[in-house]
Amino acid sequence: MDQLKVRFLPHDRTITVPVGESLIRAAMAAGVHVNASCGGEGICGKCRVLIEEGEIIGGVTERLSAADIEKGYRLACLSKLSGDVTVRIPVESSIDTTALSRQYTPRQTAKIKTIDINTLKEQGIFIAPVVKVYIELPPPNAQDNLPDVTRLIRALKQKGDWHKLELTLPVIRRLPAILRENNFKVTATLVKAVRKSGKTRIINIQPGDTTVENYAVAMDIGTTTIYGQLINLDTGESLSEFGDFNGQISYGEDVISRIVYAEKPEGLKKLQEVVVASINKILKKIIAHAKIDRENIATITLAGNTTMTQLLLNIDPRYIRRAPYVPASTHYPPFSASSLGIDLDEHVTALLFPDISSYVGGDIVAGVMGSGMYRSEELVLFMDIGTNAEIVIGNKDWLACTACSAGPAFEGGGVEFGMRAAKGAIEDFSIDPLTCEPMLVTIGDVRPKGICGSGLITMIAVMFEAGIIDSRGKFDRSLNTSRIRQNNGIWEYVIAWAGETQIDRDIALTELDIDNLIRAKGAIYSGCMTLLEEVGLSVDMIERIILAGGFGSYIDLERAMTIGLLPEIDPEHVTYIGNGSLLGARMSSLTNKIRQDVIEVTRRMTNFELSETPSYMNNYVAAMFIPHTEIGKFPRLYERMKTKGK
């Protein structure tokens, strides 16, 4: 994408952004505050800026006088950038240079880690799990009348370094006719054993040469959403990907309510059928979209949390929710996908990622495997943040993990105007420290409807650094602004006035909301602390953070550190892997190395039950501040605050 430069005055800050970016987003990214509270629809008319050099597209509205337009004033939220420009932000309030110096760090999300088959090869961890081999067999005659199976195996051994080949009954049944109908020219699909000493299974035999059609399915079975990917096993490419709700949602929002439902008569059976139906719906989509033949899918690899895994396998999960939280199993044998009702050919083997405990599931193991954390020299903190946050700390030698209940704050729950990250959600925010006027950016650049998790983090971090809220999450009652007010006895900050919103109500952030977020981040941070203490380490030893889960992609890293959700670390050392569960499933589809290592990794992964770890409660209490009772744990923030004189 073509890039352009925007210079902001009087700050004299220059930022490079892609052509087509809105001017208000460019300002936000540059850490330049422009009053703006309508989400970019030109309603509030506050984001008036002067274009001093260069041209922009749009930005003209009846909210600007003809004279202003003539002078070069535009509304930033309606302006699209098409070339280099210099933009002056009018300083209408009684501003001083101190205010200008209180510049925000640019928004920075984690770098996205991707994998491809060449990386696997370069790292020496590529071991093809499925190989298709085309062979032309000599037809049998009186002198050479080996059985069909033996003939096939002989030819395969001549062609490659295959040993311990084994055919499944369905293939044996089909072999004689396929050989004779196709002049003894066929393609065999070989599924290699995970271990070198194991047998290679010939799971399919097809007429002619179908070697280029070699596919697998990777799937993440989430409590809310299921994602499936169709993978080309030769190129590593993802040919199609779809996500859809897990149909079990109708039977309960979270794992606990699913377990409760599963305990009802026929409940388990129903939930199993429903999740399989959702899987089949996604399979249908990814297969149709990739335009491939279902028969050429050799394997399906799935990962999910412990409850999702057991519901899929028809294992009663009732003891997961009862102390001492003992799951039936954490490791599952491979099984025939069709035997569970999954709409794939009889020959497709399904593999499920093993779990660690009742609350650290296969989705997390998949993330640890897929991210490569388990092979890392560096000390890594792996976090998958959602309603439940799972934390893994360790490296190639050891791993410790735990799960903590963060509550729904990061997904918009328990926050008065909280919402999921969807159109109209406030995702970015800045504030004028003198006037307390906000600048906000919404998903889709429309009028705001609410605040999503990443918006909430940013908002609290920004207001904390601006001194508007204190470390206990309370607003400065002394500030002279109508935006900070008491409403039904609760203090709040009005982000957008009713007329600027989609909901015709003032959108506010309340002290209760802040408290909820502090509890959520406190639970997670103290989980990390406790894990570290249990293994005798401290937070400054963390060399890398890996974020997994949908939330991780939007999170503003610096802000997340400011509120004390993430330990402070150079944002360059934070990696985002997206859906770790899906990534792990995909990696495991592509190379047997993952499956070779996973059992050993699960053995190495020590699970801590926070409720059984005495230091957890102390850590939790200490983390109930912004960023923490011990500001020393956040040295960079401490430096910034000192500079600002706060």
Q: By CB under 8 A, name the binding residues for a copy of itself.
A: 140-151, 166-169, 172-173, 175-177, 197, 313-316, 318-319, 323-333, 335, 355, 357, 609, 611-612
To the nearest whole angstrom, how small is the minimum distance from the Cβ of residue 587 to a copy of itself? 23
Say how far apart CA 113 and CA 118 lie, in whole Å.
14
Say how far apart CA 232 and CA 125 lie, in whole Å.
17
Residue closer to a copy of itself (CB basis): 150 or 618: 150
Residue closer to a copy of itself (CB basis): 72 or 140: 140
Say how far apart CA 6 and CA 39 lie, in whole Å.
21
To the nearest whole angstrom, how small is the minimum distance from the Cβ of residue 128 to a copy of itself? 23
What b-and-e string marks burial along 334-355, b requiring 16 or more CB atoms within 10 Å of the CB? eeebeebebbbbebbbbbbbbb
The answer to whether the CB of 452 falls within 8 A of the CB of 420 is yes
Residue closer to a copy of itself (CB basis): 366 or 415: 366
To the nearest whole angstrom, how small is the minimum distance from the Cβ of residue 355 to a copy of itself? 8
The answer to whether the CB of 340 falls within 8 A of the CB of 350 is yes
Give the residues across from 133 on adjacent strands: 188
Residue closer to a copy of itself (CB basis): 71 or 322: 322
Helix (H) or strand (E) holding 101: helix 97-101
Residue closer to a copy of itself (CB basis): 89 or 350: 350
HSE toward the beta carbon, residue 354, CA cutoff 13 A:
19
Provide the pairing of β-strand 438-442 with 380-384: unpaired
Say how far apart CA 498 and CA 481 lie, in whole Å.
17
To the nearest whole angstrom, how small is the minimum distance from the Cβ of residue 314 to a copy of itself? 6
Residue closer to a copy of itself (CB basis): 148 or 428: 148
Q: How far apart are the first and last CA of the chain?
A: 41
For residue 276, what are its two tokens?
């399989």
Say how far apart CA 489 and CA 497 lie, in whole Å.
19
Residue closer to a copy of itself (CB basis): 201 or 544: 201
To the nearest whole angstrom, how small is the minimum distance from the Cβ of residue 357 to a copy of itself? 8
Residue closer to a copy of itself (CB basis): 199 or 423: 199
Q: What is the DSSP string of 557-626?
A: HHHHHHTTSS----GGGEEE-SSHHHHHHHHHHH-HHHHHHHHHHHHHEEE--GGG-THHHHHHHHTSSS
Residue closer to a copy of itself (CB basis): 91 or 177: 177
Burial class (CB in 10 A: 0-12, 13-18, 19+), 143: exposed
The answer to whether the CB of 549 falls within 8 A of the CB of 88 is no
Residue closer to a copy of itself (CB basis): 32 or 179: 179
For residue 119, what are its two tokens?
């990386």
To the nearest whole angstrom, how small is the minimum distance from the Cβ of residue 3 to a copy of itself? 52
Q: CA-CA-CA-CA torsion for 396, 377, 303, 575, nearest 10 degrees? A: 160
Alpha helices by DSSP H, 147-191? 148-159, 169-181
To the nearest whole angstrom, how small is the minimum distance from the Cβ of residue 24 to a copy of itself? 52
To the nearest whole angstrom, how small is the minimum distance from the Cβ of residue 166 to a copy of itself? 6
Residue closer to a copy of itself (CB basis): 175 or 431: 175
To the nearest whole angstrom, how small is the minimum distance from the Cβ of residue 534 to a copy of itself? 14
Q: At what angle do helices 169-181 and 148-159 cross, to 10 degrees?
A: 80
Residue closer to a copy of itself (CB basis): 304 or 564: 304
Residue closer to a copy of itself (CB basis): 6 or 360: 360
To the nearest whole angstrom, how small is the minimum distance from the Cβ of residue 328 to a copy of itself? 5
To the nearest whole angstrom, how small is the minimum distance from the Cβ of residue 409 to a copy of itself? 28
Say how far apart CA 231 and CA 590 lie, in whole Å.
8
Residue type, 137: L
Say how far apart CA 576 and CA 554 lie, in whole Å.
10
Beta-strand runs (E) in 124-237: 130-136, 165-167, 185-191, 200-207, 215-221, 225-232
To the nearest whole angstrom, how small is the minimum distance from the Cβ of residue 147 to a copy of itself? 5
For residue 153, what are its two tokens?
């195996």
Residue closer to a copy of itself (CB basis): 268 or 517: 268
To the nearest whole angstrom, how small is the minimum distance from the Cβ of residue 584 to a copy of itself? 20
To the nearest whole angstrom, how small is the minimum distance from the Cβ of residue 172 to a copy of itself? 5
Q: Which residues contact 519 (CB under 8 A, 6 or more apart)?
A: 407, 409, 624
The answer to whether the CB of 32 falls within 8 A of the CB of 89 is yes
Residue closer to a copy of itself (CB basis): 206 or 330: 330
Q: CA-CA-CA-CA torsion for 50, 56, 58, 64, nearest 10 degrees? A: 10
To the nearest whole angstrom, how small is the minimum distance from the Cβ of residue 608 to a copy of itself? 11
